[in-house]
């Protein structure tokens, strides 16, 4: 039985049914109760932490499943780097209210701690509760329950010393869960700090030095009235432009040689050829945490300045392709005639995300892509 019947309950209705229909939320609640009655979801009798390991790209990252305190989010100790849309927040809030539970965890990063790493390394020597490989990506997901009370107490003490958590993925889920928690606290007579379950929401916290951020690339439908020659000439004002010498490898499915090599280096596909673009000195500000980002450089100097794309969120001429799909997907969409040009970016770093969040700034749209994604349903947090 798929958890989609709870987190995407519209699949139980006729195609075209509005996912915000009240019947859809009611269906989620009914399916959630069914999962519990069937024994597919079992309530722990005591508070516990869990270790959630994800293996992919030749490495494993180890997260701790926790209850994140709502006030930490509201007061800025859980830091964000993306804007959220109110309508998407409202949808997630209705889902949490209806179920009275957090079904989908939020993905957090924290400044790594050697003492916490040592505790986790000791725990994962034991037998896991779950261990499976998920299709279609092929990532491995492994899960341990932490039973020892002394270990639980020590983990809590260490987390109390960590000054901030950073939302890696799940800004809308974080905002929705925190707003529901704040509503429930406001509705009670005792409006002080407490240990009610509704004061917390479900999160998985990973050390920042283990996370894998991959590229988030762009494809554009036209050259804004320019010929290919005019477009390449315009690029030369701000970039060093070179035809890639390894195009022949791409026909065999090997794109490793033409990936961007470092920050401020881009790979572009146009007219059957891959190009290397390197931003010239003075075209960006290394002292500005936003201005130094390659998404900012490409947006300002290529998408806006040359191609006339002002708003990445609303312009229909641009689309975005997660790096998990590879550079071959960029080439395919251009070769098919659907798109005219593709632009591959070097991934942002975790430190860039932390710097922007610490400065109170917001990243441009479609900047980060974390893999592997968290699997929902391994643990659920009820608010009652």
pLDDT tens digits, residue range 156-179? 999 999 999 999 999 999 999 999
CB atoms within 10 A of CB 285: 12
pLDDT at 289: 87
The number of folded domains in the chain is 2
The owner of tokens 């499943």 is 65
Report the distance separating Cα 363 and Cα 82, nearest Å. Answer: 6
φ/ψ (deg, to 5) at 55: -120, 125
Question: Residue 149 and residue 126: Cα distance in Å, rounded?
Answer: 16
Q: Are residues 106 and 207 in the same domain?
A: yes
Range in 140-154, 231-245, 267-281, 361-375 with the lowest mean pLDDT = 361-375
Residue 155 shares a structural domain with residue 260: no
pLDDT over 60 at 190, yes or no:
no
pTM given for the model: 0.85
**CATH number, position 231:** 3.30.1760
Question: What gap in Å lies between CA 308 and CA 365, rounded to an integer?
Answer: 17
Q: Is residue 143 part of a domain?
A: yes
What range defines the domain where residue 187 resides?
Answer: 43-212+371-382
pLDDT band with cut points at 50, 70 and 90 for residue 367? confident
Which residue bears the tokens 């709502």?
Answer: 70
Q: Are residues 48 and 195 in the same domain?
A: yes
Mean pLDDT over 105-130 rounds to 97
- Same domain for 129 and 168, yes or no, is yes
Q: Note the pLDDT of residue 135.
A: 84
Structure tokens at 172: 């809308």
Task: Examine residue 161 and state whether it is found in any structural domain, yes or no.
Answer: yes
Residue pair 369/216 in contact (Cβ under 8 Å)? The answer is yes
pLDDT recorded at residue 82: 86
Burial 77-103, CB ≥16 within 10 A → b, else e: ebbbbbeeeeeebeebbbbbbbbebbb
Mean pLDDT, rounded, for 4-30: 92
- pLDDT of res. 88: 84
Average pLDDT, the chain: 91
Residue 27 falls inside a structural domain: no
Task: Please give the Cα distance from 9 to 25 (Å, whole number).
Answer: 7
Categorize the per-residue pLDDT at 84 as very low, low, confident or very high, splitting at 50, 70 and 90: confident
Query: Which pairs count as long-range contacts for 327-336, CB under 8 Å and 24+ apart, including other chains?
Result: 327/217, 327/250, 327/255, 327/258, 327/259, 327/267, 327/269, 328/250, 328/253, 328/255, 330/217, 330/219, 330/269, 331/250, 331/255, 331/269, 331/274, 333/219, 334/219, 334/269, 334/270, 335/272
> Is the residue at 361 inside a domain?
no
Question: Do 329 and 300 share a structural domain?
Answer: yes
In terms of domains, do 95 and 124 share one? Answer: yes
Give the pLDDT band of residue 146 (cuts 50, 70, 90): very high
- Tell me whether residue 23 is in a domain: no
Q: Is residue 224 assigned to a domain?
A: yes
- The verdict on 227 and 190 lying in the same domain is no
**Per-residue confidence (pLDDT) for residue 192, from 0 to 100:** 55
Same domain, 161 and 278: no
Same domain, 262 and 282: yes
- Across 271-287, average pLDDT: 93
Whether the pLDDT of residue 50 is over 70: the answer is: yes
* Cα gap 124→128, rounded to integer Å: 7
Q: Is the pLDDT of residue 335 over 90?
A: yes
Domain annotation covers residue 1 = no
* pLDDT confidence tier of residue 256, bands split at 50, 70 and 90: confident
Element (H, E) at 174: helix 171-187
Q: Is 201 in the same domain as 226?
A: no
- Is the same domain home to 98 and 207? yes
Q: Is residue 365 part of a domain?
A: no
Is 119's pLDDT higher than 70? yes
Quick check: 50 and 145 in contact, CB under 8 A? yes
Q: How far apart are CA 163 and CA 185, in angstroms?
A: 24
Q: Does one domain contain both 204 and 62?
A: yes
Percent of the chain, pLDDT > 90? 73
Residue 363 pLDDT exceeds 90: no
Instruction: Please give the average per-residue pLDDT across 244-268, as a whole number.
Output: 80
- Strand extents, DSSP E, 3-58: 49-56
Residue 216 — very low, low, confident or very high, per pLDDT cuts 50/70/90?
A: very high
Whole-angstrom Cα distance, residue 301 to residue 324?
26
């Amino acid at each position: 039985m798929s958890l989609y019947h709870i987190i995407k309950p519209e699949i139980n209705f006729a195609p075209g049914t509005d996912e915000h229909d009240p019947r859809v939320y009611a269906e989620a609640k009914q399916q959630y109760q069914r999962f519990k009655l069937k024994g597919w979801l079992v309530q722990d009798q005591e508070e516990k932490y869990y270790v959630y390991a994800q293996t992919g790209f030749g490495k494993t990252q180890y997260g701790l499943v926790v209850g994140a305190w709502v006030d930490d989010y509201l007061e800025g100790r859980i830091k964000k780097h993306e804007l959220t849309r109110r309508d998407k927040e409202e949808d997630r809030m209705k889902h949490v209210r209806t179920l009275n539970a957090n079904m989908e965890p939020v993905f957090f990063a924290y400044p790594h701690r050697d003492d916490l790493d040592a505790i986790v390394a000791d725990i994962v020597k034991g037998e896991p509760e779950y261990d499976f490989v998920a299709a279609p990506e092929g990532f491995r997901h492994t899960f341990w329950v932490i039973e020892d009370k002394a270990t639980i107490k020590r983990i809590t003490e260490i987390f109390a010393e960590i000054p901030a958590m950073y939302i890696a993925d799940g800004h809308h889920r974080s905002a929705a869960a925190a707003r529901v928690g704040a509503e429930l606290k406001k509705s009670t007579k005792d409006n002080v700090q407490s240990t009610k379950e509704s004061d917390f929401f479900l999160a998985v916290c990973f050390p920042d030095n283990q996370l894998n951020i991959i590229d988030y690339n762009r494809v554009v439908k036209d050259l804004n009235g320019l010929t290919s020659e005019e477009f390449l000439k315009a690029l030369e004002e701000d970039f060093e432009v070179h035809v890639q010498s390894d195009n022949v490898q791409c026909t065999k499915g090997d794109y490793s040689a033409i990936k961007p090599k470092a920050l401020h280096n881009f790979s572009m596909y146009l007219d059957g050829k891959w190009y290397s673009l390197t931003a010239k000195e003075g075209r960006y500000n290394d002292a500005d945490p936003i201005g130094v980002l390659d998404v900012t450089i490409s947006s300002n100097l290529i998408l806006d300045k040359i191609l006339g794309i002002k708003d990445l969120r609303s312009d229909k001429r641009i689309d975005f392709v997660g790096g998990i799909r590879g550079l071959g997907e960029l080439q395919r969409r251009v070769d098919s005639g659907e798109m005219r040009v593709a632009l591959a970016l070097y991934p942002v770093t975790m430190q860039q995300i932390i710097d922007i969040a610490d400065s109170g700034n917001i990243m441009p749209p479609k900047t980060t892509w974390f893999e592997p994604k968290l699997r929902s349903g391994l643990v659920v947090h009820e608010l009652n």
